[in-house]
């Protein structure tokens, strides 16, 4: 009798396993990636980011038609398949003016280290695709060896890319080498296609004061600046930005503003006391490599409202300050959810 009951129970257990519905691999239990177990459903995270960038572009260009939109990294968004030879994501491509790429030749695995050929060639495929579609490629390499820096400039120029060899990963200085910007250019620069060199400088506190920071920038001869909206916590004014738009030799230059749209930053003006992972619900987790930066569900209306479409929104502040464009970071946030 005991053996019969045991056999009956075993049969019921096996039958229950057979009839239970299968659980999708990325929605079972507590996954380690942000997309796992988040209950997002079947989202197209790449299209969500394209839609966000396209919304930013339409909004900014309606106010300032020449305003440049430059997403950094996430090159897979250029095609619908995520492959460099795939069908074009035409609406996205038409919405942007440039694409930024870090670590193309140096810095992919470590600063001042050549990028492995396989990774370099993968990235090059997308950058060349962008150029073929009339989208200007901008490259930031991280290297301090002078030979590496000159290699970076020459190799990028060979592809028609505008580049910057940063000798500090924190982007907190104007490099002393080379003494003059590579491809120093006295002509007016009014579009990305006019630029022959660029300076990427985000951390301005080493300059001591806003006035010293602005004076150092104004005295440099770069065609294009990518800088932050703030000096420490003080927002740059329209007159501050205007003071940077003419090179010492007289030619016009572009001043582009950095803005992260795939992460929230707890040192920004919009961050509220009490915010943390899960509060608000669109804050997913802290970036383990950058303290104070938090992955967000970038498709959520509450996050997008922080970025644009109100006088206090981030993009609206950038537009009001008189910048010539916006450099959008953490475009590759879709990877965290996939």
Residue 185 has pLDDT above 80, yes or no: yes
pLDDT band at 169 (very low <50, low <70, confident <90, very high): very high
Q: What is the pLDDT of residue 184?
A: 96
Its domain, for residue 119, covers 41-262+298-337
Residue 105: CATH number of its domain:
3.20.20
Residue 279, phi then psi, degrees to nearest 5? -145, 95
Q: Does any domain span residue 290?
A: no
Round to whole Å and give the CA distance between 224 and 227. 10
Question: Positive or negative, the Cα torsion across 186, 191, 194, 196?
Answer: positive
Q: Does any domain span residue 173?
A: yes
Q: Does any domain span residue 267?
A: no
Per the model's pLDDT, the better-predicted residue between 289 and 56 turns out to be 56
Question: Which residues have CB under 8 Å from 62's CB, separation 6+?
Answer: none
Q: Does any domain span residue 167?
A: yes
A 10 A CB-CB count for 172 gives: 14
Q: Does any domain span residue 96?
A: yes
In this prediction, residues 197-210 reach a mean pLDDT of 97
In this prediction, residues 191-203 reach a mean pLDDT of 97
Q: Does any domain span residue 21?
A: no
Question: Which residues have CB under 8 Å from 280's CB, separation 6+?
Answer: 302
| Contact predicate 81/338, CB 8 Å | no
Q: Does any domain span residue 306?
A: yes
**Structure confidence by residue, pLDDT tens digits, 238-259:** 999 999 999 999 999 999 999 9
A 10 A CB-CB count for 105 gives: 23
pLDDT band at 273 (very low <50, low <70, confident <90, very high): very high
Number of domains in the chain: 1
**Could you give the residue ranges of the DSSP H alpha helices within the chain?**
2-19, 45-63, 90-95, 117-132, 146-158, 210-219, 238-242, 301-307, 314-321, 334-337
Round to whole Å and give the CA distance between 129 and 124. 8
Residue 41 has what DSSP assignment?
-
Q: Does any domain span residue 319?
A: yes
**Structure confidence by residue, pLDDT tens digits, 24-82:** 222 222 233 333 434 456 899 999 999 999 999 999 999 999 999 999 999 999 999 99
């Amino acid at each position: 009798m005991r053996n019969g009951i045991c056999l009956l129970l075993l049969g019921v257990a096996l039958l229950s396993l057979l009839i239970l519905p299968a659980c999708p691999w990325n929605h079972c239990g507590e996954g380690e990636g942000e997309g796992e177990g988040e209950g997002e459903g079947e989202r197209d995270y790449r299209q969500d980011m394209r839609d966000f960038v396209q919304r930013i572009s339409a909004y900014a260009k309606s106010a300032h038609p020449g305003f440049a939109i430059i997403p950094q990294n996430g090159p897979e968004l250029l095609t619908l398949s995520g492959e460099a030879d795939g069908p074009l994501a035409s609406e996205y491509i038409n919405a942007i003016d440039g694409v930024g790429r870090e670590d193309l030749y140096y810095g992919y695995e470590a600063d001042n280290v050549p990028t492995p050929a396989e990774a370099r060639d993968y990235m090059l495929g997308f950058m060349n695709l962008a150029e073929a579609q009339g989208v200007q490629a901008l490259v930031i390499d991280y290297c301090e060896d002078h030979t590496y820096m000159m290699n970076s400039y020459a190799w990028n120029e060979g592809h028609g890319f505008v580049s910057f060899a940063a000798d500090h990963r924190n982007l907190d200085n104007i490099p002393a080498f080379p003494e003059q910007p590579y491809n120093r250019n006295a002509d007016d620069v009014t579009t990305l296609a006019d630029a022959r060199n660029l300076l990427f400088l985000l951390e301005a506190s080493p300059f001591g004061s806003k006035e010293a920071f602005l004076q150092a920038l104004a005295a440099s001869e770069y065609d294009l600046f990518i800088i932050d909206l703030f000096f420490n916590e003080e927002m740059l004014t329209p007159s501050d930005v205007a003071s940077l738009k003419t090179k010492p030799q007289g030619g016009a230059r572009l001043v582009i503003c950095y803005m992260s749209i795939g992460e929230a930053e707890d040192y920004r003006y919009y961050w509220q006391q009490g915010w943390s992972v899960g509060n608000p619900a669109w804050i997913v987790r802290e970036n383990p490599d950058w303290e104070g930066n938090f992955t967000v569900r970038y498709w959520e209306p509450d996050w997008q409202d922080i970025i644009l479409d109100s006088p206090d929104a981030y993009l609206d502040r950038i537009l009001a300050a008189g910048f010539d464009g916006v450099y959008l970071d953490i475009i590759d946030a879709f990877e965290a959810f996939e």
